[in-house]
Amino acid sequence: MRNTKIAIIGAGPAGITAAYELTKAGFNVTVFEASSSVGGLSKTIPLWNQKVDLGPHRFFSDDARVNSLWLEVVGKDYRMVDRLTRIYYQNKFYHYPLRAFDALKKLGIGQATLCVGSYLKEKIFPTTKDGSFETWVIQRFGRRLYEIFFKTYSEKLWGISCQDLDEDFAAQRIKKLSLYEALKNALFSSQNPKHKTLVDQFAYPIEGTGMVYERMKSSIENANNKVYLNCPVKSVITANNKANRIELNNGETLEFDHIVSTMPITHLVENLSEVPQTVKLAAKELKFRNTTLVYLKIDGQNIFPDNWVYIHAKNLKMGRITNFSNWVPEINCAAKSTIVAVEYWSYNDDELWLASEDEIISLAKNELHQTGLIKNLSISDGHVIRLPKCYPVYKTGYKESLSKVESHLSTIHNLTVIGRYGSFKYNNQDHSILMGILAAENIISQKNHNLWKINTDYETYQEKSTITASGLNFTHANEK
């Protein structure tokens, strides 16, 4: 196996997991990462003598393969974190996922009555689905709750109308939610705090979410494989419908027996040799959304209880606020200050993306004060990180374009594409880790896992499990 040379392009959760698994199997693996550290969007960085992630990153999976691997890497160096996330709307904070009584009480009797009436109307005369996010959510919650709790935030995130957003986003992210389920949970859910669910609790490494991928990197290097940082790949080179070389940005070309790519699928296709023009045109239709993270140093502790807050206020440009003091104490390093991250989303030519650091820090400070979350506490410092191409945009019609690209890439031997960027999927960490595991199995054991189907509405996990404070807890299928 050492004679089989594997190139991994990108060291985010999918890429570094594939490299880690292939390394354990004895393959000759080389990882090429464009940035200065591994972890992709799930990396952890030092800031003001504390540690922070690139926004909120919780880990939760019910796939035993994913959980077993995560625990293999993390060991006992994690804590279970009680999750609190809320929605900020019209100067009030609502629990999310929605808690029926909480939402209806804070909306007021008049608005609550209209929301329930709108919901009941959908049960009797359901809105016809047209494939959009808008009609999917309206049919599930009613128009009024859709407009209050989904429309504004979703249009901030994606930069397009919810009428132009594909229902795939809803199917992947909120498919288990409904007003009926919220009411049922409010009335009949167990009050036993020992039984935590996806909503209530998640596992988190004591050194930040990036600790998982830094440890994978160390294991890969300890096995005499290579992880090159600050080493972007320009293109994958094919011959006779086989991927056999990569070209680095410096012009150097290297030969490999198999190539696993997590680079943005648009960049891959644009620079790939032997691509039909129709496929290149289809790839150009696929768009990514950028993120600007503004970290603010707040002079105070215990400022608000949430892990993160969704901002639904129309008058604020910010989309989400993360409070890193509410994760695990180890990353705060006994600091007397609190670091929060304010998120903004944009396209390349948007004013927000082009704003100077001073402008964007000033905006974030003003908007954070407007929420009332930090009261009159002072903000002593700010730091900006810009993340291009964070979110694959599920614009209506994207599936047709993606299908053409998928079909072509599937014909290229010795090439595997995975990850949020690589497969154009709105993955959580667990989805990307699973992609890495199965991609490695395809190479190691000649399996035939269809990686394009991971993180879709029709995916099915195998053995079920949950990570708890004491380790892995297996769940029988009839208990789910």
Token reading at 465 = 């499990």
pLDDT in tens, 327-381: 999 999 999 999 999 999 999 999 999 999 999 999 999 999 999 999 999 999 9
Assess if residue 5 is contained within a domain: no
- Residue 167 in any domain: the answer is yes
**pLDDT at 405 exceeding the cut of 50:** yes
| 288-306: average pLDDT | 96
Provide the whole-model pTM: 0.91
138 in a structural domain: yes
Residue 116 lies in a domain: yes
- b/e string for 184-221 if b means 16 or more Cβ within 10 A? ebeeeeeeeeeebeebebbbbbbbbbbbbbbbbbebbe
103 vs 180: CA distance, rounded Å: 13
- On whether residue 84 sits in a domain, the answer given is no
415, pLDDT greater than 80 = yes
Closest CA to 327 of 428, 211, 430: 211
pLDDT tens-digit profile of 194-204? 433 445 789 99
Whether 169 and 424 have beta carbons less than 8 Å apart is answered as no
Q: Tell me whether residue 111 is in a domain.
A: yes
91-95, 182-186, 351-355, 445-449: least confident range: 182-186
| 60 belongs to a structural domain | no
Q: Over the chain, what is the mean pLDDT?
A: 90
Q: How many domains does the chain have?
A: 1
Rounded to an integer, the average pLDDT of 394-414 is 95
What is the domain range of residue 103?
A: 99-188
Is 124 domain-assigned?
yes
User: Does residue 272 come out as left (phi exceeding 0), alpha (psi in the -120 to 50 range) or beta?
Assistant: beta
